[in-house]
Amino acid sequence: MLLFLKADQLRDMPRLCESMYSDRARQFRDRLGWTVDVDGQGWERDEYDDLNPVYVIWQKPDGLHGGSMRFLPTMGRTMVNEHFSALSGGRLYHHQKLWECTRFCLSDGAAPNVSAALMLGGAQLGVGLDLARAVGVFDARMVRIYRLLGWQPVVLGTTGDGAEAISVGMWEFSEEIRQRMAKKAGIAPEMAQHWFDVARDGLRVLPVAG
């Protein structure tokens, strides 16, 4: 199932919390070879996890992490502005209807539909909070995933070539996209809406657009 949780809510679910940060270490450090901070518990966390972001999480039937993404409003601190602005010629992104999406992560052996389920979760979050777009940095391996799912970003800038390319892009939220991602994930859009509605009250303390 999809969960929409702030970081302070995730801390109240220790098994899910531990499995998400551990899966991030396995993916970003061990499989992809990124230079990331992994603590003594084997958790991959960074300074943006301390800003109480919203996580969109696919929770497996055993209660553990199956996949996740992290969202932050661009009216506050974001990775794209503080570390990757050169990718788009120094442009900074600040708008109440624009949020940043980062840390797209899948657990080892994730089911084939989890990527689509996470993208559905992102689309549901955007529609549910009346956002216009998401911005994020992505590497070359994600290009194929976005293309197969049918929700490709508008690329705003790229550095590097081939498998080493890193880009910043922007995704538009819409009901059409939400419906498309639900079909790709094999999840009824009404179910995605229900999962979001359950979480809605806990998300209101964030600077919701509108």
Tens-digit pLDDT profile for residues 143-189: 999 999 999 999 999 999 988 899 999 999 999 999 999 999 999 99
Q: Does the residue 208 lie in any domain?
A: no
CA proximity to 43, closest of 77, 80, 79, 7 = 7
Q: Does the residue 63 lie in any domain?
A: yes
Alpha-carbon distance 33 to 63, whole Å?
28
Q: What is the pLDDT of residues 30-46, one digit of tens each?
A: 998 888 889 989 999 99
pLDDT given at position 208: 42
pLDDT given at position 203: 81
**pLDDT above 70 as % of the chain:** 97
Q: Does the residue 41 lie in any domain?
A: yes
CA proximity to 136, closest of 103, 101, 172 = 101
Residue 34 is part of a domain; what is its CATH number?
3.40.630.30
What are the E-state strand segments in the chain? 2-6, 54-59, 65-73, 98-106, 133-139, 154-159, 166-172
Scanning the structure block, which residue is given the tokens 């661009």?
A: 74
Q: Does the residue 31 lie in any domain?
A: yes
Cα 205 from chain centroid? 19
**pLDDT above 90 as % of the chain:** 87
Are the C-beta atoms of residues 72 and 53 closer than 8 Å to each other? yes
Taking the whole predicted model, whether its pTM rises above 0.85 is answered as yes
Q: Does the residue 209 lie in any domain?
A: no
pLDDT given at position 28: 94
Q: Does the residue 168 lie in any domain?
A: yes
Q: What is the pLDDT of residues 69-104, one digit of tens each?
A: 999 999 999 999 999 999 999 999 999 999 999 999
- Structural domain count of the chain: 1
pLDDT given at position 209: 40
124 exposure class (CB count in 10 Å sphere: 0-12, 13-18, 19+): buried
pLDDT given at position 34: 84
Mean per-residue pLDDT over the chain, rounded: 94
pLDDT given at position 163: 84
190 exposure class (CB count in 10 Å sphere: 0-12, 13-18, 19+): exposed
Owning domain of residue 65? 2-203
pLDDT given at position 204: 63
pLDDT given at position 164: 85
